[in-house]
Amino acid sequence: MGMTRGFYIGRFQPFHNGHYNMVERIAEDVDELVLGIGSAGDSHSTRNPFTAGERIMMITKSLVEFDLVTYAVPIEDLERNSVWVSHVQSMSPDFDIAYSNNPLVIQLFREAGVDVRQSPMFNRDVLEGTELRERMIADENWERLVPDPVVDVVEEANGIERLQMVNDSDSNGQ
Ligand SMILES: Nc1ncnc2c1ncn2[C@@H]1O[C@H](COP(=O)(O)OP(=O)(O)OP(=O)(O)O)[C@@H](O)[C@H]1O
Ligand SMILES: NC(=O)c1ccc[n+]([C@@H]2O[C@H](COP(=O)(O)O)[C@@H](O)[C@H]2O)c1
């Protein structure tokens, strides 16, 4: 078979070991992988603390060890789900298979005729962005739930202090 390119989108707030395990799985199927940085315009909020650039650093540094060509492409949100797949395709290198465990994303790709594959959830009780952000806010242990380079990126961005600050103002109703 020829070269296969996959596409995997997430908000990656932050990129954690569940995402890493999913890439490990995907790497068995494809030669190249596009990582879509979802909600790319969002940052500095409790749900989306990190910028697209910071998330690109987390992903690029975490995936260097794979025998896989990777591209990180920021994808901003749209008001219209009905044209979202075209929007993604307009920003990304061409891909053969989309990977997601998000039901809306799966449905939109399938309706647009794109081949979609799911993976099992890895250790979902702790490997979840929401859980990680809660631990960061509470100064609880989160470092072992992410690839080592992500710890450095969070530190460089002063991410814990930022998340604690924006969480304070978010929960005070801005
Ligand atoms: N532990 C995991 N194992 C396998 N896939 C995962 C895991 N966590 C997230 N994913 C999948 O990775 C993609 C991107 O996930 P996303 O960036 O929303 O992370 P999340 O952990 O679900 O974060 P949040 O709690 O912030 O929504 C989605 O398809 C999601 O289902
Ligand atoms: N209408 C839209 O803009 C639209 C539709 C579906 C998914 N998305 C984005 O795709 C990403 C999906 O990633 P998650 O699986 O991490 O939720 C998110 O950033 C989400 O906002 C956007």
Going by pLDDT thresholds of 50, 70 and 90, the confidence category of residue 62 is very high
Q: Total structural domains in the chain? A: 1
Going by pLDDT thresholds of 50, 70 and 90, the confidence category of residue 172 is low
Measure the CA–CA gap between 92 and 48, rounded to whole angstroms.
22
Inter-helix orientation angle 148-156/159-171, to 10°:
70
Give the position, in ligand 2's atom list, of the atom nearest the Cα of 102: 15
ipTM of the complex: 0.97
Give pTM, 2 decimals: 0.96
- Residue 109 in contact with ligand 1 by CB distance below 6 A: no
Q: Residue 59 maps to which CATH number?
A: 3.40.50.620
The predicted model gives 115-140 an average pLDDT of 96
Which residues are within 8 A (CB) of 121 and not within 5 positions of it... i.e. 6 or more apart? Answer: 18, 101, 127
Measure the CA–CA gap between 10 and 44, rounded to whole angstroms.
17
Q: What is the mean pLDDT of the chain?
A: 96
Residue whose CB lies within 8 A of the most ligand 1 atoms, among 22, 37, 125, 163, for a mutation test: 22
pLDDT at 152: 98
pLDDT at 170: 79
**Longest Cα separation, the chain:** 56
Using CB atoms within 10 Å of the CB of residue 109, give its burial: 0 to 12 exposed, 13 to 18 middle, 19+ buried. buried
Residue nearest atom 26 in ligand 1 by C-alpha distance: 129
Q: Is the pLDDT confidence value at 174 over 80? A: no
Enter the DSSP assignment of 171: H
Going by pLDDT thresholds of 50, 70 and 90, the confidence category of residue 1 is low
Task: Give the domain extent around 62.
Answer: 5-171
- Residue 12 in contact with ligand 1 by CB distance below 6 A: yes
pLDDT at 171: 77
Q: What percent of the chain has pLDDT over 90?
A: 93
Residue nearest atom 1 in ligand 2 by C-alpha distance: 81
Predicted confidence (pLDDT) per residue in 83-108, tens digit: 999 999 999 999 999 999 999 999 99
Predicted confidence (pLDDT) per residue in 6-54, tens digit: 999 999 999 999 999 999 999 999 999 999 999 999 999 999 999 999 9
Query: Considering just the CA atoms, what is the radius of gyration of the chain in Å?
Result: 16
Q: How far is the CA of 9 from the centre of ligand 2 (A)?
A: 8
Q: How far is the CA of 28 from the centre of ligand 2 (A)?
A: 25
Q: Facing residues of 117 across strands?
A: 99
